[in-house]
Chains A and B, each alone.
Chain A
Amino acid sequence: MAVTPSHILRRLYLVAGGLFLFAGAVVFKLVNLQAAQGEKYRDLAMQRTEKLFTIAPNRGNLYSDDGSLLATSVSKYTIRFDAVTVKEETFRATVQPLAKALAAQFGKPADYYEKLLKKARTNKNRYALIARDLDYSDFLAVREFPLFELGPYKGGLIIEQRTVREHPLGKIAERSVGYERYDDNGYVTRVGLEGAFGDYLRGKEGKRLKQKIAKGQWKPIGLDNIIEPKDGYDVVSTIDINIQDIAHHALLRQLEHYKAEHGTVIVMETATGAIKAISNLGRTEEGTYYERLNYAIGESHEPGSTFKLMSLVAALEDGVVDTSTVIDTERGYWRLYDRVVRDSKHGGYGEITVSKAFEVSSNTAFAKIIHNGYKEKPQNFVNRLMEMRLHEPLGMPIKGEGVPVIRNPGDKGWSGISLAWMSHGYEVSMTPLQTLAFYNAIANGGELLRPRLIREVREWDRTVEKFDKEVLHPQICSPETVGKVQELLRKVVSEKHGTGHKLDTPFLSLAGKTGTAQKNYVGKDPEKLAYISTFAGYFPAEEPLYSCIVVVHEPDKSVGYYGADVSGPVFQSVAQKILANRPIESHLPEFTLEKPDLDEAYEGYYSLAQEKMQTLPDLRGMSGMDAVSLLENLGLEVEVRGNGKVKRQSVSKGTDISQVKRVILELS
């Protein structure tokens, strides 16, 4: 074979050369990876390892006027159990203590939980439901239970957190509190205050870039968020919890009694337009009621007799009639073209003043007043109504405000009888809130205010925005007219013939107008014919603080349907409770109790007690109680016989105290 060193070296150079080539190939591949394919893999790196995370802001709270929480966001925790990850011996040792702990926490029997856990184990269930939607304190407790305390990998504890909107007051004002909900397609449903003030409450999402470090584990890149999340502001609404509670329950009771389809109550502060309560109850198929739709704001309907106030104000303003003008009610039956206006009282009221026509709510009188007064120029009546801003929505921030309808002459639907029918609230349409706003304006001396649902927007204790009263119309009619109709509204309740007289009580001065509008009258089918019972007004009549409207749709006709019967009691009970809740301040005249002998006795004792005595004082005439305390303070022993004032003392006055040890007092 004869191997020589040079032989080896030649071959070694060959091999080394081969290795250098190999190295060259590696370098080539390396450069190729970075240059040619670099873009692709760098993109892949971003895709696989970096992600922009959204940081959800905390939604602001919704408060009532007095600071009670109406809606707040809370975390709810759902606990599940991965029965596979737990070691057999651990499971066996802890399943019973765990079941016991769960039983103690949630009130189900321990063997229920034991079965649940064991079944999950047998079925290799990695996602067994233990408890749903726990609050934070329950969640903390569960986390410390046997087995679960070992965490997700050894203890199989799976925690799912979600944020829910909680309403501490429950169903009360639920619809007006509302919600803001996003569905899967990104569409938003905005309801009530939550929806209306979502821009304040929502806050802004933050963004944070995170890098993946393992499956399901992400590490934030950098110290700061790319966008800091901004928590939503708190919104303080004008809703007063007490009034809301009163309104809700008064309405509910009445709806249940009359088996009505739905109803609404709104209470508004006269001077500011702040809505203190808004309740909307709709009937379910089972006959129970819940906050279904926002009827108060959304439902525009023919108001009926409550509209007579608007007609009367217009007529008074235009000088068509005065309250003392006498109208013939024509036996309660007035034919106009082919239609007939009827009064609710058969035979009518005879010849009555405008004032009484309003109090008894005569349809024929009002039809005649408006029709005869404006038939030459119907546009004047419409213009007057529009001047009072009755044709425009109030511009509520809550979505879905109903649009009022006031037709112009010549519009589609206008006819020869329009004036007569509009006069008592048909062929026009308004929402309860719009009607209330008008009544409130009358109560407020003619100043029309926009109803307000929000008082201020706050960030912690800082006010971001304050909402004051908004004037829609400074003076809808002359002060004289206001004065006249105020008097009439009071008389509706106070006069014996008034439609609202049932509500009159000696302790409350209510003012308002009843309304009983027909609904579904087009088909002339008496079965379908239904009523809308309304009462709108304010209280106290002399210096109005609150205005209120109650509307009840489709009460059971067999039980009753008149506005005064159905809606009036709700109004009355709201007024009664609100006024009863108001503190009454009364001042009693200051007086002093004079009792000279008592003062004298006290003076005598006081002056003796102040003296540093060397000799025993004269105690006679002094009350026994005072004498004992005096002597004992001097360090003497005292024996008392009898009751009352000192008659005799065993040691006479003037004796040196150091000589005396014991004094016997005889009292009488």
Chain B
Amino acid sequence: MRNIFRHLEGDKAIWAVTALLALFSFLPVYSASSNLVYVVGNGTTMGHLFKHALLLLLGFGIIYGIHRIPTHFFKGLSLIALPVTILLLIYTLAQGNTIEGANASRWIQLPLVGFTFQTSNLAAVVLMIYVARYLTKIREQEIKFTQSLLPLWLPVFIVIMLILPANFSTAAILFAMVLVLCFLGGYPMKYLMGIIGAGVVFLTLFVLLAKAAPGLFPNRVDTWISRVENFWDGGDTEGDYQIEKAKIAIASGGLLGNGAGKSVMKNFLPQSSSDFIYAIIIEEYGMVGGLSLMFFYMLLLFRIVVVANANPTIFGKLLVVGVGLPIVFQALINMAVAVELFPVTGQTLPLISSGGTSIWMTCLAIGIVLSASRKPLVESDGERIDEENPLEILSGQL
């Protein structure tokens, strides 16, 4: 055992929380799979379990591989990865998958392995690193808005625009996270306000355009509007079907829950193994289970803050916050949807929900946080210089 653990560097608490969440995830995923198998008629329960195990195994491979990479390598990596992800996003969108006329181009089919891959998740991580890098680079300068327009906001807007038509919530969360990161990175507040304003104006235009010319391009504007309307509309309408089922699940869970696998509502909640998994967890494991899960995410948040605190470099701090906070934020959004604190979104519960891309990209982010939490071999004031960084040249150019 010691041998294995010796290879695991970085924050042990994060390792532990990640492993616990991953282990726990088998329970709800296995339970929810009965709905897919017996009601939807898709696969076998063992099959779903095995697939989940495989995804997690690959995920931990990713964590291990990423956390060995020296933190400052990510600066350069993000520069290479960003154009690639943008191309992938364009490709994804261009496929034009639709669900009942609404744009659902979120996935690309991975060749050979047969998994689908949600490119927006990758793009989010890459973009956060890129922004962190940029903020680090300009930390000493008195920055002008026009100066930051091209290197910062252009890539941000391109990525978000490419995600928006198919997945509003991911785009919105990413935008919010970029803003938070900029806020942390000392980007001037007045400019941030301007950007928010621009974002709102842009979104309004997008919605209006989609409404005015419904056939022009596939989008999910109608879905967003109805979801938001349902949320604000107090009564139980037809559209509240999902949320009502989630509330029934939570209410019938009680303090200790009905027991593993005993959920009833999993049969009626669409996406019971991903989007609404928190409601199912509470139904089966009760308030105790739900709060424990919340506790672990809060512990993760705490450790991320600790790691950010401990990391000596500005880039390290911003990187940890930039990729770490979205995990916790997404978890909270998922829970908030289940308790009707937030309109219905397609956000998964990181590490718990089934779904390859979500697991892998969470693992990627955690790997980066762990990398930043490693004890640096030699410390100098500010910048690590003893390690070769082949991408430093590239990083310096922009």
A residues sitting closer than 8 Å to B (CB atoms) are: 1-3, 5, 7-9, 11-13, 15-16, 19-20, 22-23, 25-27, 29-31, 33-34, 37-42, 44-45, 48-49, 211-214, 217
A-B contact pairs, 26 of them (CB 8 A): A1-B138, A1-B188, A3-B185, A5-B317, A8-B186, A8-B318, A9-B317, A11-B184, A12-B308, A15-B183, A15-B325, A19-B329, A23-B332, A26-B341, A27-B294, A29-B339, A30-B339, A34-B254, A34-B255, A37-B247, A39-B251, A41-B252, A48-B268, A212-B264, A212-B267, A213-B39
B54 within 8 Å of A (CB atoms): no
Task: Report if A15-B141 is in contact (Cβ < 8 Å); known contacts: A26-B335, A33-B247.
Answer: no
B287 touches A1 (CB 8 A): no
The answer to whether A45 and B339 touch across the interface, beta carbons within 8 angstroms, is no
Q: Give A49 to B258 CA distance when docked, in angstroms.
A: 15
**Once bound together, how far apart are the Cα atoms of A80 and B100, in whole Å?**
30
B141 nearest in chain A by CB position: A1
**Contact call B38/A23, Cβ cutoff below 8 A:** no
B250, A33: Cβ atoms closer than 8 Å: yes
The residue that B305 contacts in the complex, of A3, A13, A34, A48, with Cβ under 8 A, is A13
Judged by a CB distance under 8 angstroms, whether B265 is at the interface is: yes
| Interface check B226, CB cutoff 8 A | no
Which residues of chain B from 285 to 316 have a CB within 8 Å of any chain A CB?
287, 290-291, 294, 297-298, 301-302, 305, 308-309, 312, 314
A45 to chain B: which residues have CB within 8 Å? 248, 251-252, 264-265
Chain A residue numbers with a CB within 8 Å of B317 are: 5, 8-9, 12
User: Do B251 and A38 touch across chains, with their CB atoms under 8 A apart?
Assistant: yes
Contacts of B335 in A (CB 8 A): 26, 30
Take A1-B139, A37-B247 as given contacts and tell me if A16 and B305 are in contact as well, using a CB distance cutoff of 8 Å: yes
- For the complex, what is the distance from the CA of A639 to the CA of B339, rounded to whole Å? 116
- Which chain A residues lie closer than 8 Å to B248 at the CB level? 41-42, 44-45, 48
Find A19's partner among B135, B187, B282, B301 (CB 8 Å cutoff). Answer: B301
| Chain A residue with the shortest CB-CB distance to B180 | A15
Find out whether the CB atom of A49 lies under 8 angstroms from the CB atom of B325.
Answer: no
Distance of A225 Cα from B39 Cα, bound (Å) = 24
Distance (whole angstroms) from the CB of B252 to the closest CB of chain A: 5
CA distance A12 to B186 in the complex (A): 11
Q: For A213, give the chain B residue with the smallest CB separation.
A: B267
**A163 to B188 alpha-carbon distance, docked (Å):** 80
Q: Which residues of the other chain, A, contact B309 by a CB distance below 8 angstroms? A: 9, 12
Min Cβ gap A6→B in Å is 10
- Check A2/B140 contact, CB under 8 A, given A29-B340, A213-B267: yes
| Given A1-B140, A26-B294; A34-B251 close (CB under 8 Å) | yes
Known: A1-B139, A12-B308, A49-B268. 11 other contacts (CB 8 A): A1-B143, A2-B139, A2-B140, A8-B186, A8-B321, A11-B184, A25-B341, A33-B340, A34-B253, A34-B255, A45-B251
Nearest-CB distance from A214 to chain B (Å)?
A: 4
- Closest B residue to A33 by beta carbon equals B250
CB of B328 closer than 8 Å to a CB of A: yes
The interface size of chain B toward A, counting residues with CB under 8 Å, comes to 55
Q: Given that A38-B251, A213-B39 are contacting pairs, would A26 and B336 also be in contact in the complex, using a CB cutoff of 8 Å?
A: yes
Q: For A39, give the chain B residue with the smallest CB separation.
A: B251
**Quick check: A3 and B314 within 8 Å, CB to CB?**
yes
Q: Is the CB of B291 within 8 A of A27?
A: yes
CB pair B251 A211 closer than 8 Å: no
Can you list, as one digit per residue, whether each of B126-149 has a CB less than 8 Å from chain A (1) or not (0)?
Answer: 000000000100111111000000
Q: How far is the CB of B358 from chain A (nearest CB, A)?
A: 19
Which of B139, B141, B184, B251: most chain A Cβ within 10 A?
Answer: B251
Which B residues are CB-close (under 8 A) to A211? 264
Measured in the bound complex, the distance between the Cα atoms of B264 and A45 in whole Å is: 9
C-alpha spacing A40/B268, complex, angstroms: 18
Least CB distance from B275 to A in Å reads: 15
Chain B residues with Cβ under 8 A from A30's Cβ? 250, 282, 287, 290-291, 335, 339
Complex Cα spacing A558 to B180, Å = 112
Query: What separation, in Å, do the CA atoms of A26 and B339 have in the docked complex?
Result: 7
The answer to whether residues A5 and B314 also contact, given A42-B251, A44-B248 and a CB cut-off of 8 A, is: yes
CB contact list, B257-294 vs A, under 8 A: 264-265, 267-268, 282, 287, 290-291, 294
Decide yes or no: A11 and B183 within 8 Å by CB, A1-B138, A23-B294, A211-B264 being known contacts.
Answer: yes
Who on chain A is nearest to B244 by CB?
Answer: A44
A3 / chain B contacts, CB cutoff of 8 Å: 135, 139-140, 185-186, 314
B169 to chain A, nearest CB (A): 16
Complex-state Cα separation, A41 to B338, whole angstroms: 14
* A33 / chain B contacts, CB cutoff of 8 Å: 247, 250-251, 339-340
3 nearest A-B pairs in the assembled complex, by CB-CB distance? A41-B251, A3-B186, A29-B339
Query: Is A31 in contact with B294, judged by CB distance below 8 angstroms?
Result: no
Contacts of A38 in B (CB 8 A): 251, 254
How close is A31's CB to chain B, nearest CB, in angstroms?
7
The distance from the CB of B126 to the nearest CB of chain A, in whole angstroms, is 21
B180 / chain A contacts, CB cutoff of 8 Å: 15
Residues from chain B with Cβ under 8 Å of A31 in the complex: 287
Complex partner residue of A15 from B184, B186, B318, B341, CB under 8 angstroms:
B184
A214 with B298, Cβ < 8 A, contacts A12-B321, A19-B329, A26-B339 known:
no
B247 & A9 in contact (Cβ 8 Å cutoff):
no
Contact A1 B142 (CB under 8 A): yes
A49 to nearest B CB, angstroms?
5
Cβ-defined contact, B139 with A12, below 8 A:
no
Which residues of the other chain, A, contact B318 by a CB distance below 8 angstroms? 8
A126 to chain B, nearest CB (A): 21
A212 to B287, CA, bound (A): 24
Closest to A36 in B: B251
Residue of A nearest to B382 (CB): A5
User: In the bound complex, how far is the Cα of B291 from the Cα of A39, in angstroms?
Assistant: 20
Q: Are the C-beta atoms of B314 and A12 separated by less than 8 Å?
A: no
B143 cross-chain contacts in A, Cβ below 8 A: 1
**Minimum Cβ distance to chain B for residue A376 (Å):** 88
- Asked, given contacts A1-B186, A33-B339, whether A20 binds B142 with beta carbons under 8 Å apart, the answer is no
Bound complex: CA A30 to CA B279 (Å)? 10
B11 to chain A, nearest CB (A): 16
B255 to chain A, nearest CB (A): 8
Query: For the complex, what is the distance from the CA of A42 to the CA of B268, rounded to whole Å?
Result: 15
CA distance A590 to B180 in the complex (A): 123
What is the CA–CA distance of A38 and B138 in the complex, to the nearest angstrom? 53
Which chain B positions have C-beta within 8 A of A39?
251
Please state if B314 and A19 are interface contacts (CB–CB under 8 Å).
no
Q: Which of A16, A40, A41, A49 contacts B301 (CB 8 A)?
A: A16
A contact residues around B268 at 8 Å (CB): 48-49, 212, 214
A16 to B183, CA, bound (A): 13
Cβ contacts under 8 Å, B287 to chain A: 30-31, 34
Shortest C-beta distance, B270 to chain A (Å), equals: 12
With a CB–CB cut-off of 8 A, which chain A residues contact B290?
Answer: 30
A40 CB contacts on chain B under 8 angstroms: 251
Cα-based distance from A524 to B290 in the complex (angstroms): 95
Question: Which chain B residues numbered 96 to 145 have a C-beta less than 8 Å away from chain A?
Answer: 135, 138-143
Query: How many angstroms from the CA of A27 to the CA of B287 in the assembled complex?
Result: 9
Would B252 and A42 count as touching, CB distance under 8 A? yes
Q: Which residues of B from 164 to 204 have beta carbons under 8 Å from A?
A: 180, 183-188
Write out the residue numbers on chain A whose beta carbons fall within 8 Å of the beta carbon of B291.
Answer: 27, 30
- Give, as a whole number of angstroms, the nearest-CB distance from B39 to chain A: 4
Question: What B residues does A13 contact at CB under 8 A?
Answer: 305
**Residues of A close to B187: CB separation below 8 A:** 1
Pick from B141, B186, B250, B302: contact of A34, CB under 8 Å = B250
Q: Which chain A residue has the least Cβ–Cβ distance from B309?
A: A9
B242 to chain A, nearest CB (A): 14
Separation of A214 and B264 alpha carbons in the complex (Å): 10
In the complex, A426 Cα to B341 Cα: how many Å? Answer: 90
Is the pair B252, A19 in contact by a Cβ cutoff of 8 Å? no
Q: Which residues of B contact A8 (CB under 8 A)?
A: 184-186, 308, 314, 317-318, 321
CA distance A295 to B186 in the complex (A): 104
Q: What's the least CB distance linking A14 to chain B, in Å?
A: 9
